[in-house]
C-alpha cells in the first residue's frame, strides 16, 4: 500500500457511528414500546436491515481510507463520498426510521410546519441542488481540505438537505410523501440539475481545485483525469442511480394501478369483449336475414 495511505484513526467517526447506534437501541427498547399501540411492532425487520446498511455505509464513507483519500489525494473519491451520503446513507436511514420516532423528532408544532414547507417540491429541489453547487465551488472545496470544521459543516449541510429532498419519496411521515406519480418527475428533476456543475467539472481546462494539485499523484491518476472522473461520477453514477429508482417507482405505479382497477372491478384488458367483435359468421347471418333489395321499375 502507498505510504501516504497509512492508517489514520478517526475517533470522532467512531463516536458518531457508535452514538447513532446507541440512540437507536435506546429508542427501540425504551421509548418505542410506550409510543406504539397494542400489538403494533416497534420496528420491523426491514427497518432493522435498512438501519444496519445505512450505518455501515456511513462508517465506510466517513472513516479511513475513504475519508483520507477524499480529503488529501483524489477529488473523485470526495465526489463518491458525497454521493454515498446523499443517495445511500440518507434514504437508507430514512427507510429505517419508524413513523412514531419521526413524529417525536419533528414534533407537531412550528417545527413540523417549517419542515413540511421545506420538503415541498420547489424548496427541497432548490435547497438540495443549491448545496450541490455550493459544496463543489472551488473556494469551498479548497477551504474544506484545509479546515476540518468547515469540512464537517459541509457534510452536515449535505446530509440535511438530502433529508429534505428524500422526505417526499421515502420519508417516514406518510403525509409528507408525494403521490407515486409525482415522485418520478421529481427525481428526474434532481438528475437533470447536477448536469451543469458536472459538465463544467468534466470539461474544465486547467486546475479547478488547487488543494488537489499535488506533484505526487496517488495511483498515478493525473489532476485532469481526477477532475474528469469526478464530473463523470457526479453525472453518470448519480444519474443512473436516480433513474434506477425512477424505474422501480414506475413498476410500483403500474402495479398499484392494476390493483386499483381490480378493486373497482375494471378488467385489466380494456379492449372490447369478444361478444362485441364483428365476426364473419355475424356478417353471413345478417346477409341471410336481410330483405331483398327493391327492383327498379
The per-residue pLDDT for 146 is 84
The per-residue pLDDT for 272 is 45
Classify residue 1 by burial, with Cβ atoms within 10 Å: 0-12, 13-18, 19+: exposed
274 has a pLDDT exceeding 90 = no
58-116, pLDDT tens digit by residue? Answer: 999 999 999 999 988 999 999 999 999 999 999 999 999 999 999 999 998 999 999 99
293 has a pLDDT exceeding 80 = no
4-24, pLDDT tens digit by residue? Answer: 678 999 999 999 999 999 999
Alpha carbons within 13 A on the beta-carbon side of 17: 19
End-to-end CA distance of the chain: 109
The per-residue pLDDT for 294 is 56
**Lowest-pLDDT choice from 183-192, 211-220, 238-247:** 211-220
Centroid of chain to Cα 92: 9
Rounded-to-integer distance, Cα 218 and Cα 53, Å: 29
On whether the CB atoms of residues 237 and 82 are closer than 8 A, the answer is no
Residues 6+ apart with CB under 8 A from 151: 71, 144, 145
Rounded-to-integer distance, Cα 83 and Cα 62, Å: 12
- pTM of the model as a whole: 0.84
Rounded-to-integer distance, Cα 182 and Cα 114, Å: 22
The mean pLDDT of 262-291, rounded to a whole number, is 57
Question: Could you tell me the three cell numbers for 90?
Answer: 440518507
102-158, pLDDT tens digit by residue? Answer: 999 999 899 999 999 999 999 999 999 999 989 988 899 988 888 888 888 999 999
Q: Where are the beta strands (DSSP E) in the chain?
A: none
Total H helices, total E strands in the chain: 16, 0
On whether the CB atoms of residues 32 and 42 are closer than 8 A, the answer is yes
Alpha carbons within 13 A on the beta-carbon side of 236: 8
On whether the CB atoms of residues 35 and 21 are closer than 8 A, the answer is no
The per-residue pLDDT for 3 is 55
DSSP string, 247-283: HHHHHHHHHHHHHHHHHTT--S--SPPGGGS--HHHH
The per-residue pLDDT for 214 is 84
Rounded-to-integer distance, Cα 211 and Cα 74, Å: 10
Q: Long-range contacts for 142-151 (Cβ within 8 Å, ≥24 apart)?
A: 142/209, 142/210, 142/211, 144/71, 145/71, 145/72, 145/209, 145/211, 145/212, 146/211, 151/71
The per-residue pLDDT for 165 is 97
Amino acid at each position: 500500500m502507498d505510504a501516504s495511505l497509512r492508517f489514520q484513526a478517526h475517533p470522532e467517526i467512531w463516536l458518531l457511528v457508535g452514538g447513532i447506534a446507541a440512540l437507536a437501541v435506546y429508542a427501540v427498547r425504551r421509548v418505542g414500546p410506550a409510543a406504539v399501540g397494542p400489538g403494533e411492532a416497534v420496528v420491523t425487520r426491514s427497518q432493522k436491515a435498512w438501519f444496519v446498511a445505512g450505518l455501515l455505509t456511513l462508517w465506510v464513507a466517513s472513516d479511513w481510507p475513504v475519508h483520507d483519500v477524499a480529503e488529501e489525494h483524489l477529488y473523485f473519491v470526495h465526489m463518491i463520498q458525497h454521493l454515498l451520503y446523499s443517495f445511500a446513507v440518507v434514504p437508507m436511514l430514512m427507510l429505517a426510521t419508524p413513523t412514531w420516532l419521526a413524529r417525536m423528532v419533528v414534533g407537531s408544532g412550528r417545527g413540523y410546519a417549517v419542515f413540511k414547507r421545506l420538503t415541498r417540491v420547489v424548496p427541497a429541489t432548490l435547497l438540495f441542488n443549491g448545496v450541490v453547487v455550493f459544496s463543489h465551488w472551488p473556494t469551498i472545496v479548497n477551504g474544506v481540505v484545509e479546515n476540518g470544521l468547515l469540512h464537517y459543516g459541509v457534510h452536515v449541510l449535505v446530509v440535511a438537505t438530502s433529508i429534505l429532498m428524500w422526505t417526499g419519496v421515502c420519508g417516514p411521515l406518510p403525509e409528507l410523501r408525494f403521490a407515486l406519480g409525482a415522485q418520478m418527475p421529481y427525481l428526474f428533476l434532481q438528475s437533470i440539475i447536477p448536469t451543469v456543475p458536472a459538465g463544467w467539472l468534466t470539461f474544465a481546462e486547467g486546475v479547478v481545485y488547487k488543494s488537489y494539485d499535488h506533484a505526487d499523484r496517488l495511483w498515478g491518476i493525473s489532476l485532469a483525469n481526477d477532475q474528469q472522473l469526478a464530473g463523470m461520477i457526479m453525472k453518470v453514477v448519480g444519474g443512473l442511480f436516480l433513474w434506477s429508482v425512477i424505474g422501480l417507482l414506475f413498476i410500483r405505479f403500474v402495479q398499484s394501478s392494476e390493483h386499483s382497477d381490480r378493486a373497482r372491478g375494471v378488467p385489466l384488458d380494456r379492449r372490447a369483449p369478444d361478444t362485441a367483435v364483428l365476426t364473419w359468421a355475424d356478417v353471413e347471418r345478417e346477409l341471410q336475414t336481410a330483405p331483398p333489395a327493391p327492383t327498379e321499375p
